[in-house]
Structure 1
């Protein structure tokens, strides 16, 4: 009778004769452990509706809850900003049909929405990912599908932590202490008058390959401190993919496009400067349209705006009458949007662009000339990477051009600042580092903790916005310009708390001030 091979004996009989078979557990390989951990992580994320390999957006830290409303309103008639057309479809490339933005605002206490929260990437995700694929010059049917699936798995279920379409908070100044002097009385009266004037309004313009949801945490943090922040979505070719919606009409997707995708009305190619000028003019026109809509809401036409908006949000606009300060707004932007914000200041405040100040974050290096006709106070912030990398800008270093614009504005009597946020990189003010902190730090070279970096942007912006309302300088705005040039040798990580002037100067750990009115 043929003997059965012993398990684990490679088919050879035991040299001591037959014995009961035994089972031996093999060692766990690193591949088995890794695959098991990944599988467990995927099951965990699926069970608790968490994104794969990404962090959720944090809650806001200010005293107000935060509300969010999507608004898309058609113009009375389409507005053609430039006659250039798309080469393939021959459609007008720079025609405004609707204006789209999300309003982040301080909400009433204990407000609870019955509507689902906004997704960080608007649906359908394929519109955004197709634009990114086109931007990277890898777009085709297969890549678009794969990219949509991958992005959907990574961040498709991430939501913005703001309550949708809830009531606007009342902005009330309360006095808790009895003033000691008449000067204190005047100061309290000044604060109350500002409160009665309505919530300060900021219109924000996004950068290249971004959209209205790219800066939700920055916007939400300011909203939690009493500001109304309007995050525009530009249809100038810079947004990866934007859905144009009108009540009663089919949706249209407008993908990112560049100078090579457009031509003049006569069929000639545009130069890069011509294309950039058309984009900036288009952005300025969209900013003006957003101002127009906000003024209508503040004037008591909230119900009409709600009815016209194709996004189905804004039911509480009827109660916003007289509660926004639409006479003295602030314009802000990042990168290409910073260049656009500066352009929106041309000629000084006007009815269409009633801006009394600007927050300019990393003004663009490849988005056209920077407007130097400002006429209002400005805060210009460079990320560490924007200041440290020398870039020629129309024949001279970009840093020098920015510094000169701010210095000239100070000489005109407009208090203005230019500073570098140490340890940060170009995307640090966006949501991206919060969602993927390790990946963004590795790819962009940012050395600061992502939460601290964004916190510094919020604090300096809030100090500047407060200055516009009260005239009081606080925080970084009180400091003198000690660094005419960016100094890598005194950058992030060099200064330690308690050094030089003591703990009160901890701001030196995070900032270099290049221009100041002090």
Structure 2
């Protein structure tokens, strides 16, 4: 079960090579932390970043899955600790005179900024700048910030719902925190695009100033999975610059009913077969009944984790622990997801691309795809 064989993420299929870097801004918990994926200039022998960037994340995953740290962390670290993402670490940014459209990506409950590398790098390969946030509302498996004193780090652990507290109120507070982080990430990248100096606490070999005039801040979308999917929906309420959202298997539970009439922009809901409930789908339909451009589709043969990198685990044991493997090939799921998203983004960001070739996917037409939610096929 060697590390190199335990995860196999596919390279992007788009015309651009992809680079990535980590960005941390501010020395407090109120700052921001995200991994940035972007089109880059190809270079021979480029270093590829680790998929799990720090061993602390293995302990965090043990806490989230409620497995014993003593056995889970070493097992996961041994199997996955050397796995890398097929992108160029701090690779030279490829300038774009008309500006790349921007995606702010929000992770699911118990995840972190690198667990969606497959979908983020795929979108970047088609000419997007993608900021994959690591949320600091205690919903990440773990995360950290760097106080101003040199060498110090403060870790923010994953938090279960406190005993005696109603889950809805706990999650509602988190989702607002998360959506506000999405807005702040957008503001930050707007500043960078204008040429303002933004110091990166992590001192990467990547100067954010190279992004000046290369992001089209009029073409911005929010994308997320699960808790991040509903975060992306709420981001539309909080910030008019977000022109649409793509919600991968959105967990609709934390969004308060009063906000549904406030969602001003279209949403593409891409669901898996085994996660959604009739109540959750009814909430999505409330939005689609208000906006004819909001679409709901379901990919057959998929589980909730099919939208994460965990679907690409080659270790059967880890795949079982994470409930990561549906019957549909994960590359096929990624193809459907990214192409549907690209067609939707073209439509609502007014992109000058040929992504409309995949428009039929938005109606649920295609292999392993149906419109709406196939509860007759689901175990729910």
Which one of 359, 384, 395 corresponds to residue 273 of structure 2? 384
Distance (whole Å) between structure 1 residues aligned to residue 62 and residue 371 of structure 2: 38
Residue matched to 2:247? 360
Deviation of the 1:258 alpha carbon: 2.2
Higher CA-based Rg:
1
Q: Is the 8 A contact 1:433 1:441 kept in 2?
A: no
Deviation of the 1:378 alpha carbon: 1.9
Question: Does the alignment pair 1:259 with 2:161?
Answer: yes
Distance (whole Å) between structure 2 residues aligned to residue 103 and residue 514 of structure 1: 32
Residue matched to 1:119? 50
Question: Does the alignment pair 1:288 with 2:183?
Answer: yes
Which one of 272, 275, 286 corresponds to residue 404 of structure 1? 286
Deviation of the 1:435 alpha carbon: 2.1
Higher relative contact order at CA 8 Å, sep ≥6: structure 1 or structure 2? 2
Residue matched to 1:375? 264
Which one of 149, 159, 181 corresponds to residue 74 of structure 2? 149
Residue matched to 1:103? 36
Q: Is the 8 A contact 1:70 1:314 kept in 2?
A: no
Deviation of the 1:449 alpha carbon: 1.0
Question: Does the alignment pair 1:272 with 2:167?
Answer: yes
Question: Does the alignment pair 1:228 with 2:129?
Answer: yes
Q: Please list every run of 5 or more consecutive structure 1 residues that lacks an aligned counterpart in the other structure.
A: 1-41, 79-95, 172-195, 262-268, 483-506
Q: Is the 8 A contact 2:8 2:314 kept in 1?
A: no
Which one of 103, 106, 118 corresponds to residue 205 of structure 1? 106
Shift in alpha-carbon separation, 1:444–1:170, aligned structure 2, 3 A: closer
Residue matched to 1:32? none
- The root-mean-square deviation of aligned C-alpha atoms, in Å, is 2.7
Deviation of the 1:458 alpha carbon: 1.0
Q: Please list every run of 5 or more consecutive structure 2 residues that lacks an aligned counterpart in the other structure.
A: 374-380
Distance (whole Å) between structure 1 residues aligned to residue 24 and residue 362 of structure 2: 43
Q: Is the 8 A contact 1:201 1:330 kept in 2?
A: yes
Deviation of the 1:417 alpha carbon: 1.4
* Structure 1 segment 89-488 matched on structure 2, within 5 A: 96-108=29-41, 110-111=42-43, 116-123=47-54, 125=55, 127-138=56-67, 143-171=68-96, 196-249=97-150, 250-260=152-162, 270-301=165-196, 304-305=197-198, 308-313=199-204, 315-346=206-237, 349=240, 354-369=241-256, 371-372=259-260, 373-387=262-276, 391=277, 397-410=279-292, 415-436=293-314, 438=316, 440=319, 443=323, 446-470=326-350, 474-478=356-360
Q: TM-score under structure 2 normalisation?
A: 0.87
Distance (whole Å) between structure 1 residues aligned to residue 66 and residue 355 of structure 2: 47
Q: TM-score under structure 1 normalisation?
A: 0.65
Deviation of the 1:137 alpha carbon: 4.2
Shift in alpha-carbon separation, 1:465–1:145, aligned structure 2, 3 A: same
Deviation of the 1:154 alpha carbon: 0.5
